[in-house]
Amino acid sequence: MKKKFDLNIFFSELKSSIKNPAFDIGTAISKSFNVDRYDGYYDIENKLDLLFNNTIGSIKKSFSKLHSSIKYIPVLKILDTTQGPDHFIIIEYAYIFSKNIDNQSFLFYSHNRPGHEIHYVLKVFNNKIDFKREVPKIIIKDIQNNKLKCLFEEVSYNENYVWNIVSLKKIINKSNKKMIKKILNSDLSNVTIKKM
């Protein structure tokens, strides 16, 4: 008999991953199914596919595959392909919640480059706030404080959230100037900032 996914355990695991780059989402999924994690990410006995496709673009589907009530909403995506197609960097901030769990949601951070992925919760929300206004402020502050080690070649933002585009552009340009000093052959005079 196939084991049932425990949404409460999964959300508890997400909550414990706050600002932890070592967070392993596969372990959180295994705990939520109450099974051991196998190298092939497939538990034959329980007929469970424990593989979480954590490449940007597939994360949303991976979350909904776990539990149909989980909603993953991309809020901001940053793309850097300036060092060639084999060295791209994609960073995504997303808002996660479930209609089955009251009063708990997350701002999720994903950083992908070939052969290396980092995923963790940046912020846990336990009360009713104005997410459309607060989430962009938190993201802009994180970009400022985190000093992301990438060039902002293309930035896509979710227009359903309230953005201070002037502030976003200022932070992006400041970050790019610092990175361009390190990578002299990059031309990023025209960063594309667009709606998702």
Q: In sequence order, what DSSP letters do the residues of the chain get, joined into one string?
A: -PPPP-HHHHHHHHHTTTT-TT--HHHHHHHHHT----TTSEETTTTEE-----STTTHHHHHHHH-TTEEEEEEEEEEE-TT-GGG-EEEEEEEEEETTSTT-EEEEEEEEETTEEEEEEEEEE-S---HHHHHHHHHHHHHHHHT-SS--SEEEE-TTS---HHHHHHHHHHHHHHHHHHSTT---SS-EEEE-
177 part of a folded domain:
yes
Asked if residue 1 is part of any domain, the answer here is: no
Per-residue tens of pLDDT for the chain, all 196 residues: 567 889 999 999 999 888 888 887 778 887 888 876 654 455 555 555 555 655 556 778 878 888 889 999 999 998 877 766 677 788 889 999 998 998 889 999 888 877 777 888 999 998 767 888 899 999 988 888 866 666 777 888 999 999 998 888 888 877 777 666 655 555 555 667 777 7
Domain that holds residue 42: 7-195
Residue 160 lies in a domain: yes
The per-residue pLDDT for 2 is 62
pTM score of the predicted model: 0.81
Report the domain count for the chain: 1
Is residue 154 a part of any domain in this protein?
Answer: yes
The reply to whether 2 falls in a domain is: no
Asked if residue 49 is part of any domain, the answer here is yes
Q: Is residue 184 domain-resident?
A: yes
Residue 93 Cα distances to 26, 78, 156, 174, 178, angstroms: 19, 9, 11, 20, 22
Residue-level pLDDT at 193: 77
